[in-house]
Structure formats: C-alpha cells, structure tokens
Amino acid sequence: MPGAQDPAPVRDLDWGPEGARAFGREVVDLWAELLERLPELPAGRRLTVEQVRAAVTRPVPSEPTPPDELLAYLRTLVFENSTYMGHPGFVAYISGAGTIPGAAADLLAAGLNQNVGGWRLSPAATEIELHLTRWFGARLGLPDTAAGMITSGGSMAGFMGIKAARDDRAGWDIRQDGLAAGPPLTLYASAEVHDVNARAADMLGLGAGALRLVPVDRDRRMRLDALREAVAKDLREGHRPFCVVATAGTVATGAIDPLDGIADVCAEHGLWLHVDGAYGGVAALTDALRPRFAGIERADSVALDPHKWLYTPHSGGAIVVRDFARLHDAFGLEPSYTHEDKAVTGRGVDFYSHGPQFSRGFHALKVWVSLLAHGWDAYQRRIVHDCELAAYLDRRVAEHPELEPVGRQGLSIACFRYVPPSAPSRGERESYLNDLNERLMTELQWSGRVFPSNAVVDGRYAIRCCIVNYRTEAEDMDALIELTVGIGRRLASA
C-alpha cells in the first residue's frame, strides 16, 4: 500500500531472560522460605471469605505493578491466605504434599509452554506422557497395548474411561447417532463410589440415574450378589448394561471392591470394567500392597491420581486404558487444518484425538521428574509407611477410652469420633455425637496444628484422617489424638 510503514515494535510484555532470572529468583526464594517455615505455619486458618477477598483481589492496573509491590502481594497470598497441603499436619482431602522436583519441573514445563495436544507441538512431552502411562499400565499388570493420558484429576480420568466404555459397548454408532438410537444404557458402582462418577453419567447424556448404586457389605465393599441382581433386573426391563465402576480405595474409608469377582461379572455379561483408583490406584503399583488389588489387571480402564499418592503438585490425574486405541475410538476426529501424512513426517500420536481437550499443558513432566529424582523404591517405602501410620492411629484410637473407631481402617485412611463419658447412652445419642464431632472437626482445622476432614459412615459423623503426605509422621498422629480429646472435652462440657 502506498505510504504504508512497518509497525513499530511493541515489547512491553517481553521481559526477556534477565527479567526471568530476576523475578524467578525472587519467586524461588519465596518458595524456599515457605518450605523453611512450613512446619511452624498453621496448616489452616480461621479465615472468612470477606477477609480473603479483601486481601487478594484488586483492580487490574493500567500500568505495571512495581516488582517490590508485586512480591509483597505474593507474600500476602503465600503466608497469610493459604491452606498448606504440604504441612505435616494436613491429613484431609486426599491431596498430596507436592514434590519439590515436581514443582521445579512444573516451572520448566510452563516456561517451555508446549501444547501437548499435537505431537508436532510437543514431541518430547508427548513421548514422556505416553511412556509414563505405559509404565503405569505395566505396574498394574495390563498388557503392552495399555497406555493413556495425564488429566486434570480423577474426575476427568473417570469421565474419559466411562466415555470409552459407553462408545465401545453400546452396540451402535453412539457417537454419530446419539443415545436415542438404542435402548437405555446403565452402569454400576458401589454405594460408596465417588460422586464424580454420577456426574460423568450426567455429562455423557445418560443421566445420573443411569448409575446404579450397588449395596456394600460390612467392610464397605461392593456386594457381588447385589451387582448380579442389579444387572439381571436391568436386562429384564430392556436396559443395556455396559460398564461397572469398581472402586480401588473409597474416599471415606479406603475400602477396595472385590475386583476379581467384579471382573468375573463383567466377563459374564460383556461389560467394560473401569476401576476408579483415583485414591488407591497408586498403591496398586507397589509390590507390597499390590495383592490387595487382585483383579485390577483385568480392567479395561483405570483412573489414578499422581497428585494424590505420588504426592506431585496439582493438577495431574491419569487414565490408563487396556487398549489405548479405545481412546481414539471415543474421542478421535480429523480436522483438515491438522491433517498430515505421518508416514511422510514420521511424527507420533496427537493427544487431541484421544481425549476431550485440544489444548493441553505438559502435566506429565512433574510426575516423571519426581519419579526420576526420588526413584521407585523410595516411593514404595513411603506409600507403605502412610498405611502404617493410619494403622497406628487406628490402634491408638481403639485404646483410648474417649475415642471410637468408625468403620474399618483401610489403606492410609482411619476414621474415628470423640465419645465423651457424658454422652447420652440412648435416645439422642447419635444425633448428639454427630453434632459434637462436626463442631470438633471444624475446630481441629482451625487449630493450625492438624487439618483432618470428615466422613459419614453408617450415619455416624467421623473425623477422617487420610495420609498421602510424605511429611506426616507418628508425632502428627499423636497431635491429632491429643487435640481431638482436648477440644472434645471442652466442647462436651460447654
């Protein structure tokens, strides 16, 4: 064009390597200070939404925030308005402590900024993710065809497994023709299954009610007789059963469904076996705990969460499928703008065609680097130790006259409640104990020393301790006992 001039450079957003070094050093120093102070910091605080919102929200500025002010803001975020899942006393919601090599790897992954949706955009990242999930499959006892993907967590891993099951076992081209082209589909899980599986059924258009909740036995494990009855009933009524979701480590008590028996039922009826191992699945990778998961090697898909029991930073779950090709069957598409002749280019798998996301971060690196840095033997020792700590807590609870185990201790979970001598012996006893222990659990979280969560088992409100934290030791279990009894006595006498 006549008179056109080249646009002047605009480099306001490009800090360059020196800016990266300067800001990066400050952030790494802040992180190191957090690790240094972590044992003395409160695991949780008594914060309100108004307090936190006032502290961390501000208008987006028109001009750059000065570096000193920016670092001061980050200090407020880190040291005054956060809950610390890496604190030794954090034994709550199955969230790992976050490995140090994993956090450093996550910084590098963010710096590389690869889109692990297409191989050409992320060659090394794609191959690391495939290698990692193949290793998961091998440790689970799955065949060489097994592989998968790193997901945002167990919710997405479960969704992908159930989607693959639906499309593989429906009996018609459900991706093309939809649900209305065939009979109603049903799937099955124990009454203790995580609620995200019902949400997966909802998101897949089946409706949450398509997930039949099967009764459990005294140990909170799926009853095989009840599963067979539920499948037979649906067949009589014209439904098409397609999948069983077996739980390998329930959220409340760590119970493991009878995986081998469930696999037999699936084989009898041609059902897909999906194992929800978001919590316990990593334990099945260990030599010592693997016998508890007999039958997991017969699964068609397994969900597990490295950001839980491999302790890696959020977020990073995993779906491993017995035949990796089934993920392509469930999610594959071939847009013209990504077409290539791989026989010519020699490139590998494009993950965008094996899952619901086109754009994906390099979440596998923090898991892979953590395994490389620590070695598998160290991981196995620590995972077993977590289970030993939960058993230790359970024994101490059983020995204490004012404490009572709730449910059977399983894997690295122990549940209990405070029962004061003054508790009613009948009538309103359960209601009284539930209210008392609910208030007690909240005050334990406010205490700062320990941070448990809760479970409700057979109508009993329990204080729940779940150890997936490599900083937690027996002294933290002792502190939990001491604080529970101390706070419980005060509340009971109020």
Percent of the chain predicted with pLDDT > 90: 96
Domain boundary among 344, 374, 404: 374
Show the domain range for 139. Answer: 107-374
Q: What is the pLDDT of residue 427?
A: 79
Residue-wise pLDDT tens digits, 335-379: 888 899 899 999 999 999 999 999 999 999 999 999 999 999 999
Assess whether 346 and 401 both reside in one domain: no
Measuring CA to CA, which residue among 210, 159, 164, 161 is closest to residue 183?
Answer: 210
Identify whether the C-beta of residue 309 lies closer than 8 Å to the C-beta of residue 96.
yes
Per-residue pLDDT tens digits for 393-420 = 999 999 999 999 999 999 999 999 999 9
Where does the pLDDT of residue 3 fall: very low under 50, low under 70, confident under 90, or very high at 90 and above? low
Structure confidence at residue 494 (pLDDT): 84
| Distance (Å, whole) CA 150 – CA 167 | 21
Tokens of 365: 């690196």
Q: What is the domain count for the chain?
A: 2
Spatial separation of the C-alpha atoms in residues 104 and 24, rounded to whole Å: 11
| Residue finishing a domain among 317, 347, 374 | 374
Residue 2 is predicted with a pLDDT of: 57
pLDDT, tens only, 41-89: 999 999 999 999 999 999 999 999 999 999 999 999 999 999 999 999 9
Clarify whether residues 387 and 406 are in a common domain.
Answer: yes
Reply yes or no on whether the pLDDT at 1 is more than 60: no
Q: Report the CATH number at residue 407.
A: 3.90.1150.170
Q: What is the pLDDT of residue 335?
A: 87
Residue with tokens 């301790």: 465
The domain boundary residue, chosen from 374, 391, 426: 374
SS3 state at 50:
helix
pTM, two decimal places: 0.95
Give the pLDDT of residue 100. Answer: 97
153 conformational bin, left if phi > 0, alpha if psi -120 to 50, beta if neither? left
d(CA 266, CA 271): 4
Of all residues in the chain, the percent with pLDDT exceeding 70 is: 99
CA–CA distance, 21 with 16 (Å, rounded to integer): 9
Residues 257 and 338 grouped into a single domain: yes
- 28-40 pLDDT, tens digit per residue, is 999 999 999 999 9
| 181 and 237 co-located in one domain | yes
Q: Which helix (H) or strand (E) holds 212?
A: strand 211-214
Amino acid letter at 37?
R
